[in-house]
Amino acid sequence: MCRRFEPGARVIYCVPKRSARPGPNAKGVYPAPHGDDYSYYVEKFWTVIAVLPEGKIIACTRRGKQHTLRADDPALRPARWWERILFAKRFPGPAQVGVPVQSANAIAPDLRPSPPITPGDPAAAESPIALPIEQQAALPWFGWRQPTVDAGRGESTLAVG
């Protein structure tokens, strides 16, 4: 049975290894018959960047390497939902992979950032952000009041509103 993958899918590839000292990410560790070394596998966290028509996929590592694999490879499996959360930092991100990501504007158009305000813009007169800092401090909804000078000490203080 051939699994279906899409670009951007998180996958885990189990790489078989053999050495005298398994690393900290080694799983399924068992000794060789005469005790010289150990056999184990390491899980690699990759992201699919392309699906080829002949039943193969191209997966990308965190460091940008690309591997072409058969989609029905028994060592390849889709990441489970809890693995995508728990090991999120071990998967390559969209910027590393180059997979187009649905923009935030398409998801929530109301939350788009407002365009920058220029001093000649008519909306600048209505916006407290376009005012100089001294005038912003005088506005009551900014939470700050004008700096006051204490007559007794001659020190200036900024009062919180």
Instruction: Please state, in angstroms and as integers, the Cα–Cα distance from residue 92 to each residue in 25, 46, 67, 73, 113, following that order.
Output: 18, 6, 13, 21, 27
Looking at the chain, the number of H-run helices and the number of E-run strands are 4, 8
* Alpha helices (H) along 62-130: 81-86, 94-97, 104-107
Domain boundary assignment for the chain: 10-99, 119-157
**For 5-52, how does the pLDDT look when each residue is reduced to its tens digit (9 = 90+)?**
999 999 999 999 999 999 999 999 999 988 889 999 999 999 999 999
Give the C-alpha separation, 135 to 150, whole Å.
Answer: 20
Residue 135 parent element (H or E): helix 133-138
pLDDT of residue 35: 84
Give the C-alpha separation, 49 to 76, whole Å.
Answer: 15
Q: What's the alpha-carbon Rg for the chain, to the nearest Å?
A: 29
Contact 39, 25 (CB under 8 A): no
Largest CA distance in the chain: 89
Q: What is the 3-class SS of 62-81, one letter each residue?
A: CCCCEEEEECCCCCEEECCH
The model's pTM: 0.58
**For 88-117, how does the pLDDT look when each residue is reduced to its tens digit (9 = 90+)?**
999 987 666 665 544 333 433 444 455 555
- Token digits of residue 145: 């009041």
Confidence of residue 154 (pLDDT cuts 50, 70, 90): low
Give the C-alpha separation, 37 to 124, whole Å.
Answer: 72
